[in-house]
């Protein structure tokens, strides 16, 4: 069976979501996201069920035409469908694809799309060592969403987290007044604490005074008194 073209896949995904439209929910979603985006009103489980067949057909290669069309669409769910497609095929990407991903991180940016794309970035970072230098570049980027992406690029890395990289991207952003940066620092440390709580405790003891209180609170949320004493 011939694979769908990017444009045909986009049309099918859009139609599937339109069939699940819930105007009341869409209004709630718009309000929650400060009226920045339009919505069909499909909750995430509904969105994924509705687009499962399309994304399954596309699996095995990244269709950048599909991604571009989804990102151009006014409905926010379609950006998440594109991010799902990228995540499902993330193992096929390398550091050479990071500039393209950076473009989408900076387009229609808000925490939801940036954090969704970070799931794909994290796979690339673990698989391609050349991507670590790119993350260091992102960590000092003028765009706050690029910086946030560098900080959370190892959320799922657990015991294989590159602590030198984690340290570098955090220290590049100490002193920031941006909520989304300081929250990301705390989130990244809290996640790594699930694998290495003593390392995070020592980091907070050594560097905590340079971090925003929000970052420290988030990082220490699940640490015991033996692991970290404020």
Mean pLDDT of 94-112: 98
Average confidence (pLDDT) over 123-143: 98
Instruction: Give residue-wise pLDDT tens across range 26-51.
Output: 999 999 999 999 999 999 999 999 99
Give me the chain's average pLDDT, please: 97
Give the per-residue pLDDT at 1.
Answer: 59
Distance of CA 106 to the CA centre of its chain: 12
pLDDT of residue 67: 99
Q: What's the predicted TM-score (pTM) here?
A: 0.95
pLDDT for the residue 176: 97
Asked whether 181 and 214 are in contact (CB, 8 A), the reply is no
- For the chain, the structural domain boundaries read 1-92
What's the CATH number for 1-92? Answer: 1.25.10.90
Give 40-85 pLDDT, tens digit per residue: 999 999 999 999 999 999 999 999 999 999 999 999 999 999 999 9
- Percent of the chain exceeding pLDDT 70 equals 100
Cα–Cα distance, 221 to 64 (Å, whole number): 39
Closest CA to 107 of 133, 156, 68: 68
Work out the number of other CB atoms within 10 angstroms of the CB of residue 226.
9
- Alpha carbon dihedral 82, 87, 93, 96, in 10-degree steps, equals 60
What pLDDT score was predicted for residue 17? 98
In angstroms, rounded to a whole number, what is the distance separating the alpha carbons of residues 34 and 183? 19
């Amino acid at each position: 069976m011939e694979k769908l073209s990017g444009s045909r896949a986009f049309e099918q995904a859009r139609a599937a979501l339109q069939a699940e439209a819930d105007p009341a929910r869409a209004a709630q979603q718009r309000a929650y996201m400060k009226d920045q985006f339009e919505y069909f009103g499909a909750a995430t489980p509904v969105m994924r069920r509705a687009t499962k067949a399309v994304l399954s057909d596309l699996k095995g290669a990244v269709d950048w035409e599909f991604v571009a069309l989804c990102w151009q669409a006014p409905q926010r769910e379609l950006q998440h469908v594109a991010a799902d497609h990228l995540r499902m095929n993330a193992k096929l990407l390398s550091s050479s694809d990071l500039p393209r991903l950076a473009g989408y991180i900076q387009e229609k940016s808000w925490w939801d799309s940036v954090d969704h794309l970070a799931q794909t970035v994290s796979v690339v970072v673990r698989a391609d060592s050349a991507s670590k230098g790119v993350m260091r570049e992102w960590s000092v980027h003028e765009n706050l969403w690029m910086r946030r992406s560098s900080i959370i690029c190892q959320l799922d890395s657990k015991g294989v987290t590159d602590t030198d990289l984690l340290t570098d991207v955090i220290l590049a952003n100490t002193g920031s007044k941006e909520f989304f940066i300081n929250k990301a620092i705390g989130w990244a440390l809290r996640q790594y604490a699930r694998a290495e709580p003593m390392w995070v405790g020592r980091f907070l003891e050594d560097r905590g005074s340079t971090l925003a209180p929000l970052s420290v609170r988030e990082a220490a949320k699940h640490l015991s008194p033996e692991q970290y004493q404020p």
